[in-house]
Amino acid sequence: MSEFFFRNLKKTYPTVASAKGVRITDTQGKTYLDACSGAVVANLGHGVAEINEAINDQLKKVAFAHTTQFVSEAGLSLAKKVVELTPPAFRTGARAYFMSGGSEAVETAIKMARSYFVHRGESQRTICFSRWQSYHGSTFGALSATGHPARRKPYVPLLRAPSHISADYRYRCKCGFSPGPCLKDECSIAVADELESAIIFSGPENVMAFIAEPVVGATLGAAVPGRAYFSRIRDICNKYGILLIADEVMTGLGRTGAAFGMNHFGVEPDIIALGKGMAAGYQPLAAVLGSGRVVKAFEESSGVFEHGFTYSAHPVSCAAGLAAVDYVLKHDLIERVAARESAFFQRAEVLLSSGIVGDIRGKGFMMGIEFVKNFDSKEPFAADLRISQIVSQEAMKNGLLVYPGSGFIDGVNGDHIMVAPPFTTTDDEISELFEILSRVLVTVAKQVR
Ligand SMILES: Cc1ncc(COP(=O)(O)O)c(C=O)c1O
């Protein structure tokens, strides 16, 4: 019996004791290789001395100052640093707004889009479109945008009316392409064009934004859209004067081998939400970057963004973020993830022989592994089998942490795991990771076949 409100009160969780590099140890002395950086957060591994020192230094100076009264040097420096990483047209006049987590970042991004239009005298614009099979967070605004039926289900009566279009899910393209992912540009363009239809049906004058993850994370297992998808989306947003919000909470700051996931598609959003990897789990930290164009609307009006959290731009979190981003830049980790992507995916091919893997996809160090019962028809395993949970539990038994997901095909069916190790994982550790995972999948395949 415990007083702690666990995520699942019927489940027992090991108590974490310590962590170093890619390994986490519990109080029973069992060590796990962290193949998913927690929930794709601990991008730099555990126990990086420079980041811990930066946190301690900030604590010695000042732990807290409220943003209605002060700004911290760490906050100013971090804003400069992350804005400098954005693409040129976005960057000029851009600003960063800090908060504690990804859900808060998505709330802030949507409110920033709304405030932009209010400042411009277009207050009839209220609709924010998003996509099915997406995850944008667990607070009401972010959950309203989220397109994962199971995560939404208990709260649907409390959410905004759904404003979702399809995701560009290449492995299960509507054209029926088999056995691999469909790579036809016309299919991606057809999916993107759903946005234009949705805008027209709603009245373009009522629409303010479209939010999407550049590479879909937890709810579609690192699904990368076709190369034509986001440029078409950008064109549609431009045509109707709608803001494009890139939810880069998972993809931002190097996870996909680029500073931002959107860079892979040569597309500049208007607003970027960041989280997870920015402070790499050393402190709770997230950010919303408003492009110069968005910020200008505030500057030319009252200058006020009617919004804020008590812990906005917390000095210790900003100090951790600054040290984490400095660490990424100093060690060229974004370039190194890009350079190691193909070897990382090659190593994963060993998993195909388990006979239950239908698709291995992703970008950089962000990999999704989708399980199927039949390769040709892509028939998934029965949902109540919960194969992604079986895999994750078997992996944990074998000292390996992976990130499971389910229900992404139609709200009920579909199982995957994500493999997203810290950027600092060595080649030997990557080999070890796939050796363990391969054994785990063979064991699970025997159980479920
Ligand atoms: C793309 C994306 N957006 C938003 C969130 C929500 O972030 P948080 O859990 O920090 O509130 C997540 C978390 O998984 C995410 O992956």
Stated length of the chain: 449
* Residue whose C-alpha is closest to residue 11's, from 394, 393, 391: 393
Give percent of the chain above pLDDT 70.
Answer: 100
Q: What is the pLDDT of residue 298?
A: 98
pLDDT (tens digit, 9 = 90+) per residue, 69-94? Answer: 999 999 999 999 999 999 999 999 99
DSSP character at residue 172: G
Query: Among all chains, which residue has been given the structure tokens 């990897």?
Result: 277
Task: Name the closest-CA residue to atom 3, ligand 1.
Answer: 136
Secondary structure tally for the chain: helices H, strands E:
14, 15
- The Å distance, Cα 266 to ligand 1 centre, comes to 23
d(CA 376, CA 199): 36
Ordered domains of the chain (ranges, CATH):
16-47+335-448 (3.90.1150.10), 53-330 (3.40.640.10)
Q: What is the pLDDT of residue 1?
A: 80
Nearest atom in ligand 1 to 139's CA: 11
Nearest atom in ligand 1 to 273's CA: 3
Is pLDDT at 167 greater than 90 in this prediction? yes
Q: What is the pLDDT of residue 150?
A: 93
d(CA 405, CA 32): 20
- The Å distance, Cα 221 to ligand 1 centre, comes to 14
Is pLDDT at 253 greater than 90 in this prediction? yes
pLDDT (tens digit, 9 = 90+) per residue, 331-345? Answer: 999 999 999 999 999
Q: What is the pLDDT of residue 184?
A: 97
Four-CA torsion 364, 365, 371, 376, nearest 10 degrees: 20
Nearest atom in ligand 1 to 248's CA: 1
Which residues does a 6 A CB cutoff place in the pocket of ligand 1? 39, 101-103, 106, 135-137, 213, 217-218, 247, 249-250, 275
Q: What is the pLDDT of residue 327?
A: 98
d(CA 384, CA 351): 23
Mean pLDDT computed over 355-363: 98
Classify residue 39 by burial, with Cβ atoms within 10 Å: 0-12, 13-18, 19+: middle
Mutating to test ligand 1, I would choose from 110, 133, 215, 250 the residue with most ligand atoms within 8 A of its C-beta, which is: 250
pLDDT (tens digit, 9 = 90+) per residue, 383-402? Answer: 999 999 999 999 999 999 99
Q: pTM to 2 decimals?
A: 0.98
Q: Phi and psi dihedrals of 342, rounded to 5?
A: -70, -35
Mutating to test ligand 1, I would choose from 103, 143, 260, 317 the residue with most ligand atoms within 8 A of its C-beta, which is: 103
Mean pLDDT computed over 367-396: 97
Query: Among all chains, which residue has been given the structure tokens 């939400």?
Result: 273
Is pLDDT at 445 greater than 90 in this prediction? yes
Mean pLDDT computed over 300-329: 98
Q: What is the pLDDT of residue 146?
A: 98
- The Å distance, Cα 239 to ligand 1 centre, comes to 29
The answer to whether the beta carbons of residues 192 and 392 sit under 8 Å apart is: no
Task: Name the closest-CA residue to atom 7, ligand 1.
Answer: 102
Give percent of the chain above pLDDT 90.
Answer: 98
Q: What is the pLDDT of residue 71?
A: 98
Q: Label residues 78-113 b or e (16+ Cβ within 10 Å = b).
A: bbeebbebbbeebeeebbbbbbbbbbbbbbbbbbbb
d(CA 288, CA 280): 16
Mean pLDDT computed over 390-419: 97
- The Å distance, Cα 49 to ligand 1 centre, comes to 26
Task: Name the closest-CA residue to atom 16, ligand 1.
Answer: 250
- Measured in whole angstroms, how far is the alpha carbon of residue 202 from the centre of its chain? 28
Nearest atom in ligand 1 to 39's CA: 14
Is pLDDT at 449 greater than 90 in this prediction? no
Task: Collapse the DSSP code of 207 into the 3-class scheme (helix H, G, I; strand E, B; otherwise coil) and give the result.
Answer: strand
Residue type, 139: T
111 pLDDT tier (thresholds 50, 70, 90): very high
- Beta-carbon-side half-sphere exposure of residue 436 (alpha carbons within 13 Å): 22
- The Å distance, Cα 377 to ligand 1 centre, comes to 32
Q: What is the pLDDT of residue 447?
A: 95
- Provide the pairing of β-strand 286-290 with 271-274: antiparallel
Q: What is the pLDDT of residue 95?
A: 98
